[in-house]
Structure 1
């Protein structure tokens, strides 16, 4: 048992998705950790195709992985016991305690709570036994009354752990006070009692202009605005959104990142996106790629659908033409499979077999076993920290040169492929790969960049973070 003084959990819920819960949770974790508190993040259920692999080989959301780093903790499956990975408009792979649950995939949504809730409560109780305080993130909005009976991530959890709840509204979008009032009104009396304060996020302007509205919401609900978080540019990973809208730039090293449906783990390319002199352009529709220095095909939660998108938009031909004209093409995980001749699916993991772009003589066969493992890979006298997360085994039908690791990646001319995620977070690999494109510069260690960015944001936003923690009596 943890013998240090303990505090009630603090929990952040949003009036809408993308209100800023994940970022505020990460920054509160770092702020409290910097005060010496033994703190850990928790999110009962996440929905995202951006997954990280923990040391024990389980999957959790990338946001909780970042929050663990912010809290100076090693990420564990307990921090996100349920992960939903969408693979269609109505379907998602269910990950429980880090592993795929084939049983739950076949059960109606509202019937899953009986199985998932014990996993959630067991995880949160284990974390509470090891840490002084939990910083908990909700999901979506607690005002989704259609999901109330199956709730395991918002108010049901807050009531279970006696959390102090803070509702976050994105004021940059407009309608923040209406969102706060409407969310509060959708809650039961018991749930309303758990809400201790409101947080206005992404604010631009003079805070004095908010005073009348702050008094209004206090009169309506009896709950105060405890902090206003200014809109702040940052380089931390975005879990579900890919906002980069760059276009080809003269004088830069231009990289086309193919963002097909169900593209996953896009934050692993942040080290390229934020690298000086490098311009990463998201590519969703056909474009002439011959002017680019490289094209990257990322991972995918539904490789067959991603490949269909390439065919329907003409991006398949653009990628093939680019490769034939000497543009470097790199496929990571699902992207590797797309670069091959075909993908066989005898167990109907994705429902069908399909042909790839035939830029590499490789064939993949899916099976029910899913590889999820952290890796330390020896490469060019260095050790790369990577991870794998994929279905299927791939065989090369010709004698190709390996790429990074034998039998786990192949290259032929300027076409490269690997099952290893997070290659570019490794400074030495990123330096080598970019220099091969003609880029000149000096790469930084990406983990140091993230760590410094967390501290910078905590310093820049010290006042609102302090206001939240003081109001929650976490001091």
Structure 2
């Protein structure tokens, strides 16, 4: 049975969610489904139970497929470190930092590895649903492509092309994408999906008739704009604010922010609003300010101080919560012992909320962990460079690491106002999230509430996504492309 591939006319066209929807539809039919994306560029990553790093979109797709995440689903992950360089992660482990030219020259060496991984996956599953990246019509990047049409060739897979109508110009995007492809590449596109439509579909019919005539490819569905609370595409950095809610959370939008999906769970708490801010003036009456993770902690704390957040914190009376790089910033100082981010041995003064020092040295830490914080179970993962030492009042007691018993203390907390941890995903733990938010509710004389179980809610949202997509695509045709008989 062949795989089937989802490509897009651009980033944010909806490839990731469309892939997740197809994974859930086919998994619900009893098929053994496996998601795959050969190369991903994202600062939102996840650590598997084996301690390997991968893109979060494939984690969602694994959940949609009703299987555990595996680094084989995303063997190459690029994490931008500066405007010019990215950390190249291969099969879950850091390989080296490269600029675009270096990676372009290195990329052909990865093709055989991708082919070998894909063939292994294909032989062990009923169906592989493959996601592309960006657009297949990036003509400057087409040589030695391993993620779009190059990947479709490796898999010999039919392609569904997703186009976003919400931003306008959808027919131009479809036509331009198809016409910029080689003839053999065009032949691989077996269907077009128009995504994020608002309104009456009949209005589109003349346009659909014309585009089908121009490109000789059928439009196999018009999917409405979906309000599902699920992770968007990894490469799409969209900071969606929720402005209503009696509890106000401000997340500092650092220039090199990473894993900002850590704060998605707050979307499910109806009395909580989350706003991403870039100026201390925007803190306003926020009950909690979160300093998120960073791919370049020293450069980001320098920016944070340059715009005045350090001075604003001196008079701020609410909770300050640091995650990963944000936690490192809350200490006394950060020392780049081995020159990872700045000059070797350079010392940067921290915010001095904790009596700690972070040193950048040794290997990168990637661990899937479980533990306890504020008397409640928490789970998540660590992805960080550097070790933190000092006079700590530990915040999280880790008792499981990569499913094995292990006991150590993580993070720091002071004065009931300052909290810091290396654990990404800590807010996913609904009992902990309830406890933290209820401390704020008590201060504001609000009734305490229980947060929802994020795992259960994610399942509901995946089923909702699958239902909407299934109702709006020609699934009989798509099953025929994939060689599936219902």
Q: 1:234 to 1:319 in 2, by over 3 A?
A: farther
Alignment of 1:371 onto 2:380: no
Q: Deviations over 1:169-223 (max 9, x none)?
A: 1011111111111111111111111110111000111111121111211211211
Contact 2:396/2:409 (<8 A) preserved: no
**Residue in 2 that maps onto 1:328:** 319
Query: For this pair of structures, how many residues does the alignment match?
Result: 462
CA–CA separation in structure 1 for the residues paired with 2:285 and 2:134: 40
**Residue in 1 that maps onto 2:461:** 453
Q: Secondary structure at the match of 2:377?
A: strand
Alignment of 1:97 onto 2:91: yes
CA–CA separation in structure 2 for the residues paired with 1:93 and 1:172: 33
**Residue in 1 that maps onto 2:434:** 431
CA–CA separation in structure 2 for the residues paired with 1:225 and 1:234: 23
Q: Deviations over 1:113-150 (max 9, x none)?
A: 23322232222122112211111110010100100114
Q: Which of 337, 356, 368 in structure 1 is aligned with 2:328? A: 337
CA–CA separation in structure 2 for the residues paired with 1:173 and 1:289: 31
Report the aligned-residue RMSD.
1.8
Alignment of 1:469 onto 2:463: no
Alignment of 1:243 onto 2:267: no
CA–CA separation in structure 2 for the residues paired with 1:451 and 1:469: 24
Contact 1:255/1:292 (<8 A) preserved: yes
Alignment of 1:408 onto 2:431: no
| Offset of residue 313 of structure 1 | 1.7
| Offset of residue 401 of structure 1 | 2.1
**Residue in 1 that maps onto 2:281:** 287
**Residue in 2 that maps onto 1:143:** 137
**Residue in 1 that maps onto 2:50:** 56
Alignment of 1:21 onto 2:23: no
Show structure 1 runs of 5+ residues with no match: 1-6
CA–CA separation in structure 1 for the residues paired with 2:72 and 2:146: 15
For 1:42-441, what aligned pairs fall within 5 Å after superposition?
42-102=36-96, 108-238=102-232, 239=234, 240-247=236-243, 252-287=246-281, 289=283, 291-322=285-316, 326-352=317-343, 353=346, 354-379=348-373, 382-396=376-390, 398=391, 400-405=392-397, 407-413=409-415, 414-438=417-441, 440-441=448-449
Q: Secondary structure at the match of 1:111?
A: helix
CA–CA separation in structure 1 for the residues paired with 2:58 and 2:325: 23
Q: Deviations over 1:253-278 (max 9, x none)?
A: 11111111121111121111331111
TM-score, normalised with respect to structure 1: 0.93
TM-score, normalised with respect to structure 2: 0.91
Contact 1:254/1:279 (<8 A) preserved: yes
Q: Secondary structure at the match of 1:387?
A: strand
Contact 1:349/1:368 (<8 A) preserved: no
CA–CA separation in structure 1 for the residues paired with 2:49 and 2:438: 31
Contact 1:320/1:357 (<8 A) preserved: no
CA–CA separation in structure 1 for the residues paired with 2:277 and 2:354: 21
Show structure 2 runs of 5+ residues with no match: 398-407
CA–CA separation in structure 2 for the residues paired with 1:195 and 1:207: 23
Q: 1:320 to 1:136 in 2, by over 3 A?
A: farther
CA–CA separation in structure 2 for the residues paired with 1:418 and 1:243: 22
Q: Secondary structure at the match of 2:363?
A: strand
Q: Secondary structure at the match of 1:108?
A: helix
CA–CA separation in structure 2 for the residues paired with 1:375 and 1:153: 31
**Residue in 2 that maps onto 1:4:** none
CA–CA separation in structure 1 for the residues paired with 2:393 and 2:154: 55
Q: Secondary structure at the match of 2:22?
A: helix
